[in-house]
Structure 1
Amino acid sequence: MKVPKIRVRLLIVSMVIFVMLLTPFAAAQANEATIVANQGILRRTANFDGDIVETLSLGTQITLQERNGDWYRVQSPNTGTEGWMYKDLIVTNGEGSSSLKKGIITASTLNVRSIPSLEGSVITRLSSGSEVTILSQEEEWYQVQLSQGPKGFIHSDFVVVVPNLPQAQVLENSSRLRKEANLQANIIVTLNKTDTVFIKGYEGGWYNVVTRDFTEGWISSESIELQIDIARPVSRSGTRSHALSNIKSVSEKYLGTPYRYATAGPSSFDCSGFVFYILNTYYKDYLNQRGINLPRSSRDQANVGTSVSRNQLQIGDLVFFNNGTSSTINHVGIYIGNNQFIHSSSGRSMGVIISSLDEANYKRRYSTATRL
């Protein structure tokens, strides 16, 4: 049966309108993201020295407007304020970048070639530990997107493939990855302390995570800690360039000051009282500029700032320790470089002292670190 031309035209117009209606929706979905850090810090500029304009809470839904390297320009859903947020603080909703994989280079030096062949010209070379986004695979070759520069090909023998998502560390042995976000859900696998997982989403106190072997499930937010890769923002000298760089000489003036529980100086301190006093007495403007209201207890202080891994510690970072039998934080100090930290100790040498992170007691109890 021959369909009248007018009906064909109407059908085509309807389809076009339908596609047009769907397109903005799909684009909006692709640009939505969830904050997966305890504090989603929104900065005025796309770097860690940028002033903090607002801090958004874990689980907040935001809209991504553009990307500049490792930073996203976003708009606060609370105030409408625009600013920049670091990539490891968020995950995009839906497929987006989470459908891609990340490659970590294992060779001391690896050639990136123009085509998937040893005959291809060398575009650049990557060192061990470098990360690339894997776009596709052609037999034994991965097509990758370099963080700075063009696409290229690397040989699969010299790369470890992991999910292209923010990385987190498991805090306790026998942590359970469940099929759904509740304690009654079936257990998929049991994870151990220091295992690595990759965060795909967050919902009501539970993280949706993927393991290194791409097993997906849900884990309590109290069982893992976000690990933020901020090695790049360190200056060429490897030292901190802002006001906290002199915190070693400032805090050392209080060496020998006695320990006393529930005091915050200047004649005596408990551990969190010492940190609270030093930062609020000498660096109040620094805290205010960044919108940081430092809590009094060590457990609450651990939730302020940006988490950093131990191998990325800089002078002025806060280092936290547990009680040795669980993950509960009960001690804090200030990192002063050379693997040392200054703190008010309640141990045998009571009072403000300098200790090494490699001392058996502190090495065993080390929990996390944050950067204000």
Structure 2
Amino acid sequence: MKVPKIRVKLLATSVVMFMMLLTSFASGQANEATIIANQGILRRTANFEGDVVETLALGTQVLLQEKSGDWYRVQLTNGITEGWMYKDLIAVNGEKGSSLKKGITTASTLNVRGTPSLQGSVVTQLSSGSEVTILSQEEEWYQVQLSQGPKGFVHSDFIEVVPNFPQAQVLENNSKVRTTANLQAETIVTLNKADIIFIKGYQDGWYNVVTKDFIEGWISNEVVELQVNVVRPVNRSGTRSNGLSNIKTVAEKYIGTPYRYATAGPNSFDCSGFVFYILNTYYKDYLNERGIDLPRSSRDQANVGASVNKSQLQTGDLVFFNNGTTSTINHVGIYIGNNQFIHASSGRSMGVIISSLDEANYKRRYAKATRL
């Protein structure tokens, strides 16, 4: 029996369309995406050490050319400028979330095993807050794919399943998630400071977000901070491969230098003046290579670089604090490892000192961290 020609034609057309969808990156047919970071850093290569091509503003539209691990090769709509951008800095337009789930590790150290059993060999270990892609589930075990590394199995008791979009944090109490991107729109849910949400898109000063409970709505971008989450196995070196790895030794030379408001060294510092002096005196080439013009004030410094989770801090990251009652940044220091940071303090121990992030004062006031 012959198949009618029209059915053969429709079938062939469907196959072609399906193959086009599967090979859109390879064939050069790009998907559109939106920059969801305040500073979308476009790099020459697909890694954080890549030279900065350009810094794109929040809301900029780009075309996705291909994907390599956690990085997208993107092109500006002018058809000329292109480079690589980390996955958490963009939202793919119209994306409904992958059929694959995303998981966040909740244990301080989580074993990734070769088989779904406590007797399985340990492939690697993950620190708290690491992201994994959940491929499947076998009873109480998830098979996961690490963004940098092999597949493996983790126990489901230590994985929180969340929406598969870039993660962000709410900056203020009583922040409203609304039905549409409008201050007059109905409130769906009210969030508080430090609540975690996931960004699906951006439009005219509003983020399209999904909560941990998978409630979707719109929230003002002014009360949201994007968090760049990089999976880092515990058993790999936590030191930087870049030029900030020795910043602890450099900065410690200035311990005891007096605090003085509105000064930037070398004989006295205020908090942002200390950070400004250290980075511009000893690491100017590092900043220049990345196209970073470090501002003078702590509030402005907080807007430079990529935000990182507190659990993912590395030596050389900048840590920021507020006054404890509002979200306004008013203090900054340099993270030096072991949950410690060095800073110019205006408190009772006035001057450059080393403090712990676990101290009650700083734990209460901790606001964010960035990586230059």
Range class of TM-score, shorter chain: 0.7 to 0.9
Structure 1 residues 152-191: aligned runs within 5 Å:
160-191=160-191
CA contact (8 A) 1:110 1:158 kept: no
Does 245-254 or 281-290 show the bigger shift? Answer: 245-254
CA contact (8 A) 2:146 2:231 kept: no
CA contact (8 A) 1:30 1:96 kept: no
- Counterpart for residue 303 of structure 2: 303
2:74 and 2:366 map into 1 onto residues whose CA distance is 34
Change (3 A) 1:111 1:179: same
- What TM-score results when the alignment is normalised by the length of structure 2? 0.81
- Counterpart for residue 366 of structure 1: 366
Structure 1 residues 1-372: aligned runs within 5 Å:
31-77=31-77, 80-95=80-95, 97=97, 100-104=100-104, 131-133=131-133, 147=147, 160-232=160-232, 236-372=236-372
CA contact (8 A) 2:131 2:229 kept: no
CA contact (8 A) 2:178 2:186 kept: yes
Give structure 1 stretches of 5+ with no counterpart. Answer: 1-7
CA contact (8 A) 1:134 1:142 kept: yes
Give structure 2 stretches of 5+ with no counterpart. Answer: none
SS at match of 2:370: strand
SS at match of 2:189: strand
CA contact (8 A) 1:170 1:224 kept: yes
2:364 and 2:24 map into 1 onto residues whose CA distance is 48
CA contact (8 A) 1:227 1:307 kept: yes
1:281 and 1:125 map into 2 onto residues whose CA distance is 42
Change (3 A) 1:358 1:80: same
State the shift of 1:178 in Å. 1.1
SS at match of 1:274: helix
State the shift of 1:195 in Å. 1.6
1:92 and 1:37 map into 2 onto residues whose CA distance is 13
State the shift of 1:185 in Å. 1.2
Change (3 A) 1:75 1:255: same
1:366 and 1:48 map into 2 onto residues whose CA distance is 25
1:343 and 1:126 map into 2 onto residues whose CA distance is 34
2:346 and 2:176 map into 1 onto residues whose CA distance is 34
CA contact (8 A) 2:133 2:145 kept: yes
CA contact (8 A) 1:105 1:127 kept: no
CA contact (8 A) 1:112 1:126 kept: no
Percent of aligned pairs with the same residue?
A: 75
Q: Deviations over 1:313-339 (max 9, x none)?
A: 111110000011111101101111121
Does 344-353 or 284-293 show the bigger shift? Answer: 344-353
2:364 and 2:292 map into 1 onto residues whose CA distance is 30
Change (3 A) 1:324 1:57: same
Change (3 A) 1:63 1:338: same
**Which amino acid in the other structure matches residue 324 of structure 2?**
G
| Superposed CA RMSD | 3.7
CA contact (8 A) 1:72 1:84 kept: yes
- Determine which structure has the larger helix proportion and give its number: 1
Change (3 A) 1:174 1:284: same
State the shift of 1:182 in Å. 2.0
Change (3 A) 1:367 1:105: closer
1:345 and 1:197 map into 2 onto residues whose CA distance is 33
1:259 and 1:250 map into 2 onto residues whose CA distance is 18
- Counterpart for residue 4 of structure 1: none
SS at match of 2:244: helix
State the shift of 1:174 in Å. 1.7
1:64 and 1:235 map into 2 onto residues whose CA distance is 33
CA contact (8 A) 2:309 2:369 kept: yes
- What TM-score results when the alignment is normalised by the length of structure 1? 0.81
CA contact (8 A) 2:124 2:234 kept: no
